[in-house]
Amino acid sequence: MSGIMIEVRSMYGIGLLKGLWVTLRHFWGTIFTDIKKFPRRYPPKPLTRGQPTLIGTFSVQYPEEKLPMFPRFRGPLMHLRDPETGQVRCTACGMCVRACPHGCITVEGEGKGKERRVTVYRYDVGRCIFCRQCVEACPFNAIELSREYELACYDKDTIWDLPRLLALGDRSGVTESGQYWK
C-alpha cells in the first residue's frame, strides 16, 4: 500500500498534476492583470516603466511602453552644460577628435584662454562605434554618451550638429561626464 502512495506522489502521479497547476497559475495571472488594467490596454502616451512585472504578463508593449536603459548604457554622444552658469563646457580643444578611432568628430571654436568656446561641432553618428574614447579623453568633462537607442532613420544624413547634441544633453539630466562611473 505504501508502495502505491509513493508512486502516486512521484513524478508520474501527483507530479504531472502539479506541473499543470503551475502553468495554470501563470495563465490566470496574466488574465487577472489584464482585468486590473482593463479599459486601457495600451497607455495613452508613451510611458517608461520601472521593472517589468514578475507576476502576470512579462511583456513590455514596445512602442507604447518603454524600459529605461541602465545608467552606463552607451548611446550616441551628447554635450553637457555647466550646472551653475548654464554654459556649454566644451572648449573645442580637439582631444576628442584625436582620440576617436574612426574620425567621427570635427570641431571649430573661437576665443582664447579660459573664454574659448565651441562654435561648430560635427559628430557622425553613422560612423560612431560608441567606444567612449572621446569621453575619456575630454579634459573638461564636457561630453558623455547618452541613452538613446531609437536611431533608425530614412536617409544617410547622419551628421549631428551642436544644437542637437546639446538638446540630448539637456534632456538626459546628466551634468558631468562619468557621473555613473564613479
Partner 1 sequence: MEFIENIFLTIGALLTNWLSSFLPAWAVTLIMDLLVIIILVLIGVVAVLALSFMERKVAARIGDRYGPNRWGPYGLLQPVADAIKMLIKEDIIPSVADRLAFNLAPILVTFAAVMTYAVIPFGKGLIGADLNIGILYFAAVGSITTLGLMTAGWGSDNKYSLLSGFRAAAQLISYEIPMALSIITVVLVAGSLSTQDIVMAQQQRGWFIFSMPGMFLIYVLAALAEMGRCPFDLMEADSEIVAGHMIEYSGMKFALFFLAEYINLFAISGIIVTLFLGGWSGPWLPSWLWFMIKVFCVIFVLMWIRNTYPRLRIDQMLNFNWKVLVPAALVGLMIVALMDKLFTNPWLAGLAMLAGNLVLILGVLWLMGWAQRRKELAAQKAALQ
User: x/- contact string, 65-84, with partner 1 (CB under 8 A)?
Assistant: --------------------
* Min CB(42)–partner 1 separation in Å: 9
* Min CB(152)–partner 1 separation in Å: 19
* Min CB(49)–partner 1 separation in Å: 15
* Min CB(41)–partner 1 separation in Å: 8
| Distance from C-alpha of 182 to C-alpha of 179, rounded to nearest angstrom | 6
User: x/- contact string, 150-179, with partner 1 (CB under 8 A)?
Assistant: ------------------------------
Angle at 28 between CA 22 and CA 29, to 5 degrees: 85
Residues 37-56 touching partner 1, rule: CB under 8 A, are 41, 56
In the bound state with partner 1, the residue whose beta carbon lies nearer, of 1 and 152, is 1
* Min CB(153)–partner 1 separation in Å: 24
* Under rule CB under 8 A, residue 58 binds partner 1: yes
Residues 5-24 touching partner 1, rule: CB under 8 A, are 6-8, 10, 12-13, 16, 19-20, 22-24
Encode the chain in three state secondary structure. CHHHHHHHCCHHHHHHHHHHHHHHHHHHHHHHHHHHCCCCCCCCCCEECCCCCCCCCCCCCCCCEECCCCCCCCCCEEECECCCCCCECCCCCCHHHHHCCCCCEEEEEECCHHHCEEEEEEEECCCCCCCCHHHHHCCCCCEEECCCCCCCCCCCCCEECHHHHHHHHHHHCCCCCCCCCC
Total residues binding partner 1 (CB under 8 A): 25
C-alpha pair distances (Å), 142 with each of 29, 37, 77: 48, 44, 11
The residue ranges that bind partner 1 (CB under 8 A) are: 3-4, 6-8, 10, 12-13, 16, 19-20, 22-24, 26-27, 29-31, 41, 56-59, 61
